[in-house]
Amino acid sequence: MSPMRVSVALRARSKLAALLNCLMQVVCQSGSTGNIDRRNLRTWRQLVLGVLAKRSTRLLALGQVIASQRRVSSVKSAAMALGYFLNKAKFPMRPFATRLLETAVRQLPPERLVTYRGKVLLVIDPTEYEKRSRGRGKRGRQMQHIGRVRRSKAKRARKRKDKAGKGKAPQTAQKVATAFGYVDIWAGLVLKGKQFLPLARQLFSSNHPKIKSQNRVEQAVLAQGLGVLRRVGLTAIAVADRGLGRKELIIGLARKGQDLVFRIDADIKVTPDGMSSDVLLADALAGQSWLGEVVWDRGEEGKLHCRARVVRAKIRFSRSGRKDDYQEATLNFLELVPIEEHVESLVVATTLPVDSLADAKGIAWVYAQRWAVESGFETMHAWGQDSFMVRTWKAIDRLLWIVALAYALMVLVLQDAKMASFRKQAVAVLKCLSVVGRRLTVGKIAEAIGLDFNKHHRAWASVWFR
Percent residues over pLDDT 90 in the chain: 80
Tell me: the pLDDT tens digits for 215-255? 999 999 999 999 999 999 999 999 999 999 999 999 999 99
State residue 226's pLDDT score.
98
Average pLDDT of the chain is 91
Overall average pLDDT of the 387-392 stretch: 93
Query: For residue 139, what pLDDT band results from cuts at 50, 70 and 90?
Result: low
Residues in the chain: 466
State residue 337's pLDDT score.
96
**382 has pLDDT over 80:** yes
State residue 300's pLDDT score.
85
Tell me: the pLDDT tens digits for 50-69? 999 999 999 999 999 999 88
State residue 437's pLDDT score.
85
Overall average pLDDT of the 30-43 stretch: 85
State residue 177's pLDDT score.
81
C-beta separation of 255 from 125 below 8 A: no
Tell me: the pLDDT tens digits for 79-114? 999 999 999 999 999 999 999 999 999 999 999 999
Tell me: the pLDDT tens digits for 288-346? 999 999 999 998 889 999 999 999 999 999 887 777 788 999 999 999 999 987 889 99
- Find, among 371, 257, 352, 360, the residue nearest to 308 by Cα: 360
**169 has pLDDT over 90:** no
Tell me: the pLDDT tens digits for 391-420? 999 999 999 999 999 999 999 999 999 999
CB neighbour burial string for 14-53, b if at least 16 within 10 angstroms, e if fewer: bbbbebbeebbebbbeeeebeebeeebeebbbbbbbbbbb
Which residue type does 447 have?
Answer: E
State residue 162's pLDDT score.
53
Residues 6+ apart with CB under 8 A from 32: 95, 99
Whole-prediction pTM value?
Answer: 0.92
State residue 6's pLDDT score.
58
One-letter-per-residue 3-state SS of 37-102: CHHHHHHHHHHHHHHHHHCCCCHHHHHHHHHHHCCCCCHHHHHHHHHHHHHCCCCCHHHHHHHHHH
Question: What is the C-alpha separation between 268 and 285, in angstroms, rounded?
Answer: 12
**3 has pLDDT over 60:** no
Query: For residue 189, what pLDDT band results from cuts at 50, 70 and 90?
Result: very high
C-beta separation of 384 from 55 below 8 A: yes
C-beta separation of 388 from 399 below 8 A: yes
CB neighbour burial string for 287-325, b if at least 16 within 10 angstroms, e if fewer: eeeebeebebbeeeeeebebbbbbbbbebebeeeeeeee
Question: 142-151, 226-235, 252-261: which range is least confident on average?
Answer: 142-151
Query: For residue 173, what pLDDT band results from cuts at 50, 70 and 90?
Result: very low
Question: What is the C-alpha separation between 390 and 397, in angstroms, rounded?
Answer: 10
State residue 168's pLDDT score.
54
State residue 257's pLDDT score.
96
Overall average pLDDT of the 204-212 stretch: 94
Report CA-CA distances (Å) from 47 to 50, 59, 379, 457.
5, 9, 18, 15
State residue 16's pLDDT score.
96
State residue 135's pLDDT score.
63
Percent residues over pLDDT 70 in the chain: 92
